Chains A and B, each alone.
Chain A
Amino acid sequence: MSNSTDLHAPARRRWLAAGAALGGGALAAGCATPAPSGPSLGRVVVIGGGFGGTTTARYLKAWGGNVDVTLVERGATFVSCPISNLVIGGYRQIADVTRGYDGLKAAGVRVVQGEVTAIDAAARKVRLAGGTELAYDRLVLSPGIDFMYEQVGGLQPAIDSGRVTHAWKAGEQTLALRRQLEAMPAGGVVAMTIPRTPYRCPPGPYERACMIASYLKTAKPRAKLLVLDANPEVQSKKALFERAFSQHYKDILEYRPNAELKEVSGTLAKLDFEDVKADVLNVVPPQRAADIAVKAGLVNINNRWVGVNWLTMESTAVPGIHVLGDATFPAPAMPKSGHMANQHGKVAAAAIIQLLKGEPVSATPVVMNTCYSFVTARDVIHVASVHQYDAADKTFKTVPGSGGVSAAANQIEGRYALSWATNIWNDMLG
């Protein structure tokens, strides 16, 4: 599998090479549907089985037909960050936000559970832990975020020890925070901290605050929640969240702006001018593009994010690698969200098919975002935006007069939020 790919080779030759590289039978075994006949358009390796990566993989198969698509993901299952705050609040189980990759396999995507350790952009191949190499014509990297632990003293050991949670990647961390809330004394104090923007999911921390407060209100009414925000104000759906805080959680939740976490010691949160002692400390850490993007030399903006060409999602640092989702340096007013990563995935899939065919990519892509947040177990608020590509400035821009937020929290959108989740998970995973 160490053969490199000559991009200028005829498609037929590349197809033969791909057959050899994937061992033929391995790919067929993953296919419930018969493979389309004719030469392959090429090999695409997708790293990351979250919102962006799975969408790209599925749409490459749906739109490209005979493209060899391999998805590499380190987890055995997909666990959704959206809706996971309901697990923390006790209104859903982790199984409700967990899905398998069988739908992608049925669509003809080869799913490999593994950890990518290196990307060789010159030779166009990736190496997995254990030594397996996968050759590609186009690489898609949808790696999400990793944490800038160096910015908060003591944070990494506190999280590694299990004493403090981040729960900003759904799964074990989500469950750990839930268990800590359940185990906390009746009159205990929960502190959660929010990093300076930009971070993954702008409204997410405030939704989490509502879900924690909602749980405390019912189960531990003498307990308190301190929301320590490094930002000067609520970063998304501000008026709606502020209304929810005062309407539902007045005696439980205290929101403090300009309260940046500097250091963690046990469950003591040290800020600039005060220390906050908590029974349960949940820290949303400062974030950057995930480690693999750093390692591959893709991080080229603010030492934190990956710049991309918005027509193709191709990295502006390394050709042949398309980067999606939270890891990217966003276009103006473009949120880091699962919904947006799904939309990035479709732009990438459409563009990659054109590039593999040697045809021009769409010059007028559109992406949009919808984000629902639960403020109680049933009441939900949204923010929506539509982003059209601007050829002059080579970026996406929101359309004036479009988008917006809910008029007020309401239960109809509570139902829509859950339907949104099911539909987007189906859209990504089949």
Chain B
Amino acid sequence: MKTSPMRLALRAALATALLGAGGAAWSQDATLARNLAATCANCHGTDGRAVGDMKPLAGTPADKMLAMLADYRSGAMPATIMHQIVKGYTEAQLKLIASHFAAQKPKQ
């Protein structure tokens, strides 16, 4: 798996900003973010690289994804299913998920 230095830096910055975490905690949070994001992969593809009609999430900026998720939660964004799924996750979990997908390379 290749991750560009910029994305790595972004991921680290995000993690620090979101979690205020240092070394070991950062690694734990990254693992938790990875695990949580994997619950989305069934529809949105492994690490967010979806095919077909599902929205690809890899490389989506975290703030953009969090805004979308908030709109699903509030009902501002019409949805078939996401308004029901988003309510199953805590805000902290959604932030971790968003940080993980932001750091993934989009499908070529």
Residue of B nearest to A343 (CB): B39
CB neighbours (8 Å) of A403 from chain B are: 84-85, 87-88
Which residues of A are at the interface with B, using a C-beta cutoff of 8 A? 59, 62-63, 339, 342-343, 346-347, 350, 362, 364-368, 370, 382, 384-388, 398-399, 401-404, 406, 410, 412-413, 415-416, 418-420, 422-424, 426-427
Q: Contact: A419 with B54, CB < 8 Å?
A: yes
CB neighbours (8 Å) of A388 from chain B are: 88
Q: Contact: A367 with B39, CB < 8 Å?
A: yes
Interface of B: prevailing SS: helix
Q: Does B11 contact A (CB under 8 A)?
A: no
Known: A385-B88, A427-B42, A427-B46. A419 touches B53 (CB 8 A): yes
Q: Contact: A342 with B81, CB < 8 Å?
A: no
Per the bound structure, the CA–CA distance linking A370 and B88 in Å amounts to 13
From B41, B45, B87, contact of A402 by CB (8 A): B87
| Binary interface encoding of chain B residues 46-85 relative to chain A, with 1 for a CB under 8 A from any of its CBs, else 0 | 1000111110000000000000000000000000110011
Q: Name, among B42, B51, B52, B87, the residue most crowded by chain A CB atoms within 10 Å (CB to CB).
A: B42
Residue of B nearest to A387 (CB): B88
Count of A-B residue pairs with CB < 8 Å: 104
Q: Contact: B80 with A416, CB < 8 Å?
A: yes
Q: Contact: B52 with A423, CB < 8 Å?
A: yes
Partner-binding segment picked from B2-10, B15-23, B29-37:
B29-37
From A59, A385, A399, A423, contact of B51 by CB (8 A): A423
Per the bound structure, the CA–CA distance linking A297 and B34 in Å amounts to 34
Say how far B48's CB is from chain A's closest CB, in angstroms: 10
Residue of B nearest to A369 (CB): B42
Per the bound structure, the CA–CA distance linking A427 and B45 in Å amounts to 6
Per the bound structure, the CA–CA distance linking A426 and B50 in Å amounts to 9
Q: Does B38 contact A (CB under 8 A)?
A: yes
Say how far A340's CB is from chain B's closest CB, in angstroms: 10
Per the bound structure, the CA–CA distance linking A384 and B31 in Å amounts to 25
CB neighbours (8 Å) of B89 from chain A are: 366, 386, 399
Q: Does B12 contact A (CB under 8 A)?
A: no
Say how far A338's CB is from chain B's closest CB, in angstroms: 9
Q: Does B95 contact A (CB under 8 A)?
A: no
CB neighbours (8 Å) of B31 from chain A are: 350, 362
Report the count of interface residues on B (CB-CB < 8 A): 27
Per the bound structure, the CA–CA distance linking A367 and B53 in Å amounts to 23
CB neighbours (8 Å) of B41 from chain A are: 423-424, 427
Say how far B56's CB is from chain A's closest CB, in angstroms: 10
From B32, B51, B87, contact of A419 by CB (8 A): B51
Say how far A265's CB is from chain B's closest CB, in angstroms: 42
Q: Does B100 contact A (CB under 8 A)?
A: no
Known A365-B35, A403-B85, A426-B51; further 12 A-B contacts with Cβ < 8 A: A347-B35, A366-B88, A368-B88, A382-B81, A386-B85, A387-B88, A402-B87, A406-B81, A419-B54, A423-B42, A423-B52, A423-B54
Q: Contact: A346 with B80, CB < 8 Å?
A: no
Residue of A nearest to B51 (CB): A422
Known: A350-B35, A362-B32. A402 touches B42 (CB 8 A): no
From B54, B88, B93, contact of A420 by CB (8 A): B54
Residue of B nearest to A382 (CB): B81
Per the bound structure, the CA–CA distance linking A420 and B80 in Å amounts to 14
Per the bound structure, the CA–CA distance linking A410 and B88 in Å amounts to 24
From B34, B42, B84, B88, contact of A63 by CB (8 A): B34
Per the bound structure, the CA–CA distance linking A424 and B34 in Å amounts to 17
CB neighbours (8 Å) of A350 from chain B are: 31, 35
CB neighbours (8 Å) of B51 from chain A are: 419, 422-423, 426
Residue of A nearest to B34 (CB): A63
Residue of A nearest to B38 (CB): A346
Residue of B nearest to A407 (CB): B80
Say how far A322's CB is from chain B's closest CB, in angstroms: 16
Known: A404-B84, A419-B54. A370 touches B43 (CB 8 A): yes
CB neighbours (8 Å) of B80 from chain A are: 382, 406, 410, 412-413, 416
